[in-house]
């Protein structure tokens, strides 16, 4: 039996797939949360009639319409989000996009819960503050990100792992020169070849900033030094990642590109149960691997640099990227401008070593405002 599920970011891509997995497993969903008190959230609330339903944002009018549809199950505001995330004995699936997911992760771990983590920022921004919190309160972090789920499974084999190899699809602009990327549009960047995901992560896949965030996330999760974490471009996204052992053997994780698999594993671990997904057909499939190009896709290089600087640098990398991607999607910044904003924000910010969630979030806020003023300056 799985523990009751608390699904954060319920109306997003990870949230919806988590709810599908919950139905497949027959798992109890005790709470769902989203930012907007939308009709979509009401529909989900009706689909899971036992669940508390949280909306953190929205107008008084929108909240009222959710309240009148769902009654006392409907809860509002950030405190309600932290309350459901901190319900003891739960598995909290955190599919919130961006740094907003950090406090919810901290609340889940502070209550000793299992955190099925799809929110990259929790580890990238929170770093050691988050892993210390998990240790202190007996909380458990099981990654949902496909690469980290693969690495988590590969690292559970009891062998000592020397190197992590994260695979990257390369995104829609794989193999392109830097010059040819100057004029790409948001719609071109949003056309991801293999994975269906939200807007920010899809743009992050096109710049390789996403892979950079994943390198930092892998370092925090598995404690492997940066020089032993590699990225290899693998356009088919069939090998989700690999580990290298002492004798040079590589062990990889192959499967369908379907997030329901890592979501389900994070919920059922250490058990592995049948999944309602298409099986991966190996025969007739060609798998290829290429060197990543951190000069053209400089966000990847910058992520390694930020990771090595540690302290506030990874949080600054993330905040600057989030602001820059927003500006790119709104047509206020060119594609190559995304990495430029990250680089300049990293250069200009005052490095600190945050010791608490509050301090981490203060770094996040100041980096955002620095990045936003840099974006405004390049218009
Ligand atoms: Mg990934």
What confidence tens digit (pLDDT) does each residue in 328-376 have?
999 999 999 999 999 999 999 999 999 999 999 999 999 999 999 999 9
Q: Number of H helices and number of E strands within the chain?
A: 15, 12
Arithmetic mean of pLDDT, 118-134: 95
Q: What is the pLDDT of residue 159?
A: 83
156 confidence band (pLDDT: 50, 70, 90) = confident
Longest dimension (CA), the chain: 63
Q: What is the pLDDT of residue 115?
A: 98
As a whole number of angstroms, the distance between CA 235 and CA 287 comes to 8
pLDDT at 378 over 70: no
Residue 319's alpha-carbon distances to 139, 170, 364, in angstroms, are 26, 22, 6
As a whole number of angstroms, the distance between CA 161 and CA 244 comes to 6
Residues 230, 231, 234, 237, CA torsion sign: positive
Q: What is the pLDDT of residue 201?
A: 83
How many angstroms separate the alpha carbon of residue 29 from the centre of ligand 1?
25
How many angstroms separate the alpha carbon of residue 38 from the centre of ligand 1?
28
As a whole number of angstroms, the distance between CA 335 and CA 321 comes to 12
How many angstroms separate the alpha carbon of residue 377 from the centre of ligand 1?
32
Q: What is the pLDDT of residue 274?
A: 94
Mean pLDDT rounded to a whole number for the chain: 95
Arithmetic mean of pLDDT, 263-274: 96
pLDDT at 91 over 70: yes
71 confidence band (pLDDT: 50, 70, 90) = very high
Quote the tokens at residue 373: 């003023």
How many angstroms separate the alpha carbon of residue 147 from the centre of ligand 1?
5
Q: What is the pLDDT of residue 135?
A: 97
How many angstroms separate the alpha carbon of residue 368 from the centre of ligand 1?
23
Q: Under a CB-based contact definition with an 8 Å cutoff, are residues 226 and 304 in contact?
A: yes
Whole-prediction pTM: 0.93
How many angstroms separate the alpha carbon of residue 279 from the centre of ligand 1?
20
**Strand ranges (E), 73-218:** 74-76, 91-94, 114-117, 140-143, 161-168
pLDDT at 127 over 60: yes
As a whole number of angstroms, the distance between CA 27 and CA 139 comes to 20
379 confidence band (pLDDT: 50, 70, 90) = very low
Q: How many CB atoms lie within 10 A of CB 185?
A: 11
pLDDT at 233 over 80: yes
Arithmetic mean of pLDDT, 229-240: 96
As a whole number of angstroms, the distance between CA 142 and CA 221 comes to 9
As a whole number of angstroms, the distance between CA 85 and CA 59 comes to 23
> What letter does residue 4 receive in the DSSP assignment?
P
How many angstroms separate the alpha carbon of residue 240 from the centre of ligand 1?
8
198 confidence band (pLDDT: 50, 70, 90) = confident
pLDDT at 1 over 80: no
Arithmetic mean of pLDDT, 174-187: 92
How many angstroms separate the alpha carbon of residue 145 from the centre of ligand 1?
5
How many angstroms separate the alpha carbon of residue 214 from the centre of ligand 1?
7
Arithmetic mean of pLDDT, 253-274: 95
Arithmetic mean of pLDDT, 6-10: 98
């Amino acid at each position: 039996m799985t523990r009751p599920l608390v699904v954060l970011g319920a109306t997003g891509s990870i949230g919806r797939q988590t709810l599908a997995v919950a139905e497949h497993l027959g798992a109890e969903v005790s709470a769902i949360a989203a930012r907007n008190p939308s009709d979509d959230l009401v529909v989900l609330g009706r689909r899971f009639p036992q669940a508390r339903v949280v909306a953190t944002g929205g107008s008084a009018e929108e909240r009222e319409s959710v309240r009148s549809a769902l009654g006392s199950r409907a809860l509002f505001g950030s405190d309600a989000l932290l309350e459901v995330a901190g319900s003891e004995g739960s598995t909290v699936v955190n599919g919130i996009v961006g740094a907003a997911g950090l406090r919810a992760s901290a609340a889940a771990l502070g209550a000793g819960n299992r955190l099925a983590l799809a929110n990259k920022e929790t580890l990238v921004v929170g770093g050691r503050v988050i892993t210390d919190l998990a240790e202190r309160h007996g909380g458990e972090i099981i990654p949902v990100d496909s690469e980290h789920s693969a690495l988590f499974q590969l690292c559970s084999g009891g062998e000592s792992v020397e190197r992590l190899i994260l695979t990257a699809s390369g995104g829609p602009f794989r193999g392109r020169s830097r010059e040819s990327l100057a004029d790409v549009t948001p719609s071109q960047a949003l056309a991801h070849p293999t994975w269906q995901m939200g807007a920010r992560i899809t743009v992050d896949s096109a710049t390789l900033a996403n892979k950079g965030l994943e390198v930092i996330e892998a370092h925090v999760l598995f404690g492997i030094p940066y020089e032993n974490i590699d990225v290899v471009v693998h356009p088919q996204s069939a090998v989700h990642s690999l580990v290298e052992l002492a004798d040079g053997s590589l062990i990889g994780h192959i499967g369908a590109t379907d997030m329901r698999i890592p979501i389900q594993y994070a919920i059922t671990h250490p058990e592995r149960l049948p999944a309602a997904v298409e099986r991966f057909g190996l025969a007739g499939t060609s798998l290829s691997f290429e060197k990543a190009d951190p000069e053209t896709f400089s966000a990847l290089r910058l992520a390694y640099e930020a990771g090595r600087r540690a302290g506030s640098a990874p949080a600054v990398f993330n905040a600057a990227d989030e602001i820059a991607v927003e500006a790119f999607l709104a047509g206020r910044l060119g594609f190559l401008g995304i990495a430029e904003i990250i680089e300049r924000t990293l250069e200009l910010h005052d490095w600190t070593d945050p010791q608490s969630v509050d301090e981490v979030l203060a770094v996040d806020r100041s980096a955002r405002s620095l990045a936003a003023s840099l974006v405004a300056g390049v218009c």
